[in-house]
Structure 1
Amino acid sequence: MKLFDLNRFSRNYGFLVKIGAAILYSVMIAVALNFFWRPGHIYSSGITGFAQIVNTVTSRYMPFTITTEVMYFALNVPLFILAWFKIGYEFTGYTIFAVAMSAIMMRFIQPTQVSLDPILCAIFGAAFNGIGTGMALKSGISTGGLDILGIVVRKKTGVNYGKFNILVNLIIVLIAGFLFDWSRALYTVLNIFINGRFIDSVYTQHNKLQVMIVTEHPNAIIEGIQEKMHRGITIFHDVEGAYGHTEKTVLLTIIDTYDLYDIRTTVEKCDPFAFMGVTEVQKVYGRFREQEVV
């Protein structure tokens, strides 16, 4: 018998796992920012990158300086409000905690002295942040920023969010080139790419899942799923449960990993007694709309 079962621990102590993951992420991003990105004049992706840009611009051209950690939290506040109304209070609560802890750690975890090659700063900064972000996503929490915007856009439109994320990061790279020099822009590109690879190595958010739902209330579940996500559903009528010999319906669909929370809560709301099985899918052929969230 295993002395420690991580999956069982996650199920029984989900709150502690999420809080621990948020604290780990906050430490990792603080180390990435203060030990590597800031000394190497390298920008992160997304909201963190824009917070760094505001810090650089205000320190250079303004009589006051807005610190990265303050701007990082401030830029997330409108997204907290959006998440509260469009996603859910539990999701928003964990996100606020993760972002607040990150801002605190950015302020207090400071190196004594760092002097590294910019390429090493890009690699190690991306590694620390990528591992921390991957662990947070794997534990079922968001790190704020573009995650929130991506989920809301996907829920409302079903459009490919990856294109928007590429555009945002392209803007950050161009600003890095103008503020410093184009070699720093190249290092920022390297940082963003490696960061994404580390996130994927810890937690691949674009994994496809096959979901099978056995229910006595298929119509309500179908309407709930198609309202929240743009997914096709195959319906198997007139199946029978072996235990009670009652007539049931089987629903079969393919989703992204990020859809799992939505589909689980929808099924629980429409039919608390429904049975749901989830398996990983290696390949998907045919008409399947990619819904990338970064």
Structure 2
Amino acid sequence: MWYSLKNFFNADYVNRFSFSIVYALLASVALNFFYEPGNIYASGATGIAQIISTLFQQFLQIDFPIAWVLLLINLPLFILGWFKISHRFTIFTGITVVFTSLFMELIPTEVLTTDPIICAIFGGVLTGAGIGYAFKNGLSSGGLDFITIYIRKKTGRDVGSLSIIFNGMIMFAAGVLFGWQYALYSALAIFVSGKVTDVVYTKQKKMQVMIITKYPDTVMKALQGHLRRGITIINEAQGAYTKEKETVLFTIVTRYEMPLLRQAMHESDNEAFVSIAENVQILGNFYEEEL
């Protein structure tokens, strides 16, 4: 179902629209200020667009701008996203890709340095920050994301290997077109980008929360009001020192949801004992928001 114009003016959609602009600016500056001057290839669809644009220039003497190539690469993937993933996800990803392509054209290429190591590091930082920021706010940079999300929805399997294959092909192309030292510089850029993305995007990091409280019903109501998470209850727990009967609650949240957890505990039981274990592994069902 098509979204009405009214829906795009609610707070969530306006925020997503602004987040799209932020990502587009970061990705465009990374490309035009660092990747292009340093002959560095980015990861994902942007890297593939760079390859195609370079091939047109070197072998056909045709200037095919990266921005237009990026847009054309994503067009068939928008169809996949619309019918197989989510209408909302596809719409906002489309907006993000259009803004990215537009800014890549409008922002001029500036040669701050031609040192490939500096270009790889700073370009990777900007790209990773943009990708992590987009993911954190429910957006995508398009391209390979459509394919990996579709495979994950269909199979439930980890699709990290697909990203490794695509990025490996990009590095190989960088070696063939520019020289093998630039394949290493591109690998450095992709590595830095991935690490920065992990720092910024915390939604996938799981945390186990143990709450010891005298008011379990109040706490559970607050938690379920702020978070969509299951809760395990252990009744009649006894403190070794006080000998008082209390209730132990267990739940799993993401790092991204920690502010909501704190707010729920502040509203329900400020005196509760809360223990948090970071980066736990989950086997079984764990609810993740729809895109």
Task: Provide the TM-score with structure 1 as the length reference.
Answer: 0.69
Which among 55, 75, 99 is matched to residue 77 of structure 1?
A: 75
Amino acid at match of 2:59: Y
Distance in 1 (alpha carbons) for counterparts of 2:282 and 2:112: 51
* Partner residue in 2 for 1:275: none
Distance change in 2, residues 1:205/1:44 (3 Å): farther
- Residue 102 of structure 1 is matched in structure 2 by 100
Partner residue in 1 for 2:177: 179
CA contact (8 A) 1:207 1:281 kept: no
The yes-or-no answer on 1:21 pairing with 2:5 is: no
Q: Deviations along 1:235-273, whole A, 9 cap, x unmatched?
A: 99xxxxxxxxxxxxxxx9979899x9xxxxxxxxxxxxx
Structure 1 residues 286 and 29: alpha-carbon distance in aligned structure 2, compared to 1, 3 A threshold: closer
Pair member with larger Rg: 2
- Secondary structure at the residue paired with 2:99? helix
Relative to structure 1, is the Cα distance of residues 70 and 281 closer, same or farther in structure 2, using a 3 angstrom cutoff?
Answer: farther
Structure 1 residue 210: Cα displacement? 7.4
Mark the CA change 1:289 to 1:163 in structure 2 (over 3 Å): closer, same or farther: farther
* Distance in 2 separating the partners of 1:171 and 1:92: 26
- Structure 1's 253 and 125: CA in aligned 2 closer, same or farther, altered over 3 A? same
Residue 103 of structure 1, CA deviation = 0.1
Which residue of structure 1 aligns with residue 63 of structure 2? Answer: 65
Q: Supply the AA of the counterpart residue of 2:150.
A: V
CA deviation after TM superposition for structure 1 residue 171, in Å:
0.7
8 Å CA contact retained: 1:99, 1:144: yes
Cα distance between partner residues in 2 of 1:173 and 1:78: 24
| Distance in 2 separating the partners of 1:288 and 1:46 | 30
How much does 1:204 deviate?
A: 3.0
Native 8 Å contact 2:133 2:200 kept in 1: yes
**What is the CA-CA distance between 1:234 and the residue it aligns to?**
8.8
Structure 2 unaligned regions, length at least 5? 1-9, 210-228, 233-249, 258-275, 287-291
Q: How much does 1:22 deviate?
A: 0.3
Aligned partner letter, 1:172: I
Query: Superposition pairs for residues 1-294 of structure 1, below 5 Å?
Result: 13-208=11-206, 282-284=278-280, 287=283
Amino acid at match of 1:20: S
What's the RMSD between the two structures over aligned residues? 3.0
- TM-aligned CA distance change 1:235 to 1:27, over 3 Å: closer
Cα shift readout 1:171-225 (whole Å, capped 9, x = no counterpart): 11111111111110110000000001111111135323779xxxxxxxxxxxxxx
In structure 2, the CA distance between the partners of 1:190 and 1:58, relative to structure 1 (3 Å rule), is same
TM-score by length of 2: 0.69
Which structure 1 segments of 5+ residues have no match?
Answer: 1-11, 212-232, 237-251, 261-279
